[in-house]
Amino acid sequence: MLIHLPSVASFIDTSDAIVYAAYQNGNVDHDSATSIADCSENWFALLSPRDAEIVEVVERYLQLSLRVLVRSL
């Protein structure tokens, strides 16, 4: 699921924490895929409190999912 992060003109994919740029018309630029791990400190600093909370929840969910996957191996 893609969630819009208007404070940084981006979308985040909740399934894999890939960030996409948002066009001015509100559409997703699928060619701009960037891992959340590769986003700049400036990008994180510009997140609104609401958007920062969304990013944090997505990151926590993925960390939890990885732990469960590793334990099941």
Concatenate the DSSP letters of all residues of 30-70 into one string: EEEEEEGGGS-HHHHHH--HHHHHHHHHHHHHHHHHHHHHH
Domain with 46, as residue range(s), is 2-71
How many domains is the chain built from? 1
Confidence (pTM): 0.88
Q: What is the pLDDT along the chain (73 residues), one digit of tens a residue?
A: 999 999 999 999 999 999 999 999 999 999 999 999 999 999 999 999 999 999 999 999 988 887 776 777 7
